[in-house]
Each structure stands twice: as C-alpha cells, then as structure tokens.
Amino acid sequence: MFCDLPTVPPGPVGKFLVTQMAAVAELEAGLISQRTRAALAMAKARGVVLGNPRLRAGTPDQARAAAAVKQRLSRAHAADVLPYVEAAKRAGATTLRELAAALTARGVPAPAGGRTWHPMQVRRVVDADKL
C-alpha cells in the first residue's frame, strides 16, 4: 500500500499522512466486506447454491477407512525417512532440531510435501518406528 508513495515527510506531518491513509484503507476493507456479504445474500435469495455443490458428507465407515489409509501412508513415509534419521544420528545429530536440519539439508521431502522439516515432524517419524 505504501510502497508507491513518494517520500513521506518526517515528523508529525508524515505520521498524520500515514494515519489518514491507514484509516482510508480500513474503511475500504469494511466496504468490500459489506459489498461481498450483500452480493452473497442476493445470490442466495436467487437460489444459487453457495459452496461446492458436489461436496458430500461421508459416512462414519468412510471416515474410518480414510483415516486408516492416511495412517498407512504416514507409516510408509516414516519408514522411508527413518534410514535418513539414523544416518543423521550416526553423523552426530542428537536433538530433534538437529535431525530436522539434517533432513532438510539432505533434501528429504517433509510429510506434507514441504521442503523444511520441523522437530515435531521428526518426532512423529521416530515414534512411528516404535509402533
């Protein structure tokens, strides 16, 4: 918002200008919110189905099956990563933070496809091995 401003004068005048611009930005955000709510209400009144019309709630059996698949995939990923964790331990990494840094440095994909490992993710891999 302020990156295209010319140089803001120092002192009270600059502070006043920035305060006024922030107030205008806040006002505009409120107006956008009102317009969006009004447009959604009008669409709903016309009978438009809001959200994803193909999204259907699953049954408890489907939820259990999905959870089982997710757990199986998580354990498989942990089994794939565990040799890298063991190698990092042999190289001198002792804390979860050091192990996470070693996995990140080695380029091992994080559980959700991320690039950076976090200590809690390493803990889950190590704990999965104990199951």
Give the tokens for residue 84.
């890298």
Q: How far apart are CA 16 and CA 19, in angstroms?
A: 5
Say if 39 falls within a structural domain.
yes
Say if 64 falls within a structural domain.
no
pLDDT at residue 96 is higher than 90: yes
Say if 58 falls within a structural domain.
no
Whether this model's pTM surpasses 0.85: no
* Domain count for the chain: 2
Q: Quote the domain boundaries for residue 18.
A: 1-51
Q: What is the mean pLDDT of the chain?
A: 88
Q: What is the pLDDT of residue 69?
A: 95
Say if 66 falls within a structural domain.
no
Say if 59 falls within a structural domain.
no
Say if 9 falls within a structural domain.
yes
Give the tokens for residue 53.
């019309």
> What is the maximum span of the chain, computed from C-alpha positions, in angstroms?
66
75-92: pLDDT as tens digits: 998 999 999 999 999 999
Say if 61 falls within a structural domain.
no
